[in-house]
């Protein structure tokens, strides 16, 4: 019997061109979506302290940033609005003159032919209590009353020019409710991205600064428990059955096992959101010289793709797209 291995897997790794030729998973600019924040009342972009390189935008700086994203070849932008005035029911969310709908119309005009303009459909940025829905007399989120607000938001966002609505509120029945409302109003072509497996995560911290969150308490009664894997798959299956065009797992890196199982369970595109805390950790480690920033960013994105994501929402979308294009 030979003292040497009969199979030498290292043959496939001996040069960069060979490694590229046999690579199982690719990462391309078109698979990246850039989340963007637009804040009412700003005249210029305002940096977000906990997310170096990310800003709250004015309408003008948002247009410029969206144009940069289109030029970099990213697949889409996801818009989040930060209003000046909030109330208990999030009135600004479905106001045609509200910041998110005005920004959506502007970006759809600016870059709607070059990438997919997407909007976050949730009340948390617009309520004075910071929850993703309206509250009942006991102070709990009222699922069905919230769906009525979501229907109105969906129609407002579709009318403003959003091509894809990101349903991030985690209300039961939200996909079916919004599909019915959109279809009845003639918006049959508006896509629904269901944040199906959205976990109550510690990794959302910097996002709270980005949207000036007014949250009191937590969202554990409607976002998922971090210990539940099978339930994430069940949520995705429910959303597909209700008419979701795409399903989401959020956060990404701490839930790659859920992402893989959802990908295996459904026959629609599956996306993942590399959230603010994931971004901030890598940026902080790189700033301290502990890791190679570019290598860590690209490896993190590749790992999410390898786990099964067809596209990734990431705050590095534009920078990573330029790296991948050799610019």
Catalytic positions, written as ranges: 198, 250
- Coil, strand, or helix at residue 47? strand
Give which of 232, 279, 292, 235 is closest to 253, Cα–Cα: 279
Beta strands in 220-314 (DSSP E): 246-250, 270-273, 311-313
Task: Supply the DSSP string of 128-139, one letter for each residue.
Answer: SS--SS-B-TTS
Q: How many CB atoms lie within 10 A of CB 291?
A: 16
Residues forming a β-bridge with 81: 38
The answer to whether 249 and 262 have CB atoms below 8 angstroms apart is: yes
Closest by CA position to 297, among listed 311, 270, 315: 315
Classify the C-alpha dihedral 302-305-310-311 as positive or negative.
negative
Alpha carbons within 13 angstroms on the beta-carbon side of residue 295 total: 6
Q: Are 244 and 198 in contact (CB under 8 A)?
A: no
């Amino acid at each position: 019997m030979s003292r040497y291995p009969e199979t030498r897997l290292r043959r496939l790794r001996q040069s960069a061109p060979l490694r590229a030729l046999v690579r199982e998973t690719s990462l391309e600019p078109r698979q990246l979506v850039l989340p963007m924040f637009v804040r009412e009342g700003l005249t210029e972009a305002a940096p977000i302290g906990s997310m170096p390189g990310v800003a709250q935008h004015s309408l003008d700086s948002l247009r410029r940033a969206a144009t940069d994203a289109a030029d970099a070849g990213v697949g889409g932008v996801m818009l989040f609005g930060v209003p000046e005035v909030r109330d208990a029911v999030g009135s600004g969310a479905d106001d045609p003159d509200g910041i998110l709908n005005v920004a959506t119309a502007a970006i759809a005009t600016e870059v709607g032919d070059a990438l997919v303009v997407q909007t976050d459909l949730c009340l948390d940025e617009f309520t004075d209590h910071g929850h993703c829905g309206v509250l009942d007399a006991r102070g709990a989120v009222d699922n069905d009353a919230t769906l009525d607000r979501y229907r109105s938001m969906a129609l407002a966002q579709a009318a403003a020019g959003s091509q894809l609505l990101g349903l991030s509120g985690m209300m039961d029945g939200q996909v079916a409710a919004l599909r019915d409302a959109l279809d009845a109003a003639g918006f049959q072509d508006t896509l629904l991205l269901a944040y199906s497996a959205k976990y109550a995560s510690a990794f959302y911290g910097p996002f709270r600064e980005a949207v000036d969150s007014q949250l009191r308490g937590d969202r554990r009664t409607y976002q998922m428990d971090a210990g539940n894997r099978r339930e994430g798959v069940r949520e995705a299956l429910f959303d597909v059955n209700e008419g979701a065009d795409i399903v989401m797992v959020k956060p990404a890196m701490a839930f790659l096992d859920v992402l893989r199982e959802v990908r295996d369970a459904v026959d629609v595109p599956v996306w993942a959101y590399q959230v603010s805390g994931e971004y901030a950790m890598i940026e902080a480690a790189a700033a301290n010289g502990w890791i190679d920033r570019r290598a860590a960013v690209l490896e993190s994105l590749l790992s999410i793709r390898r786990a099964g994501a067809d596209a990734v929402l990431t705050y590095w979308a534009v920078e990573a797209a330029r790296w991948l294009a050799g610019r």
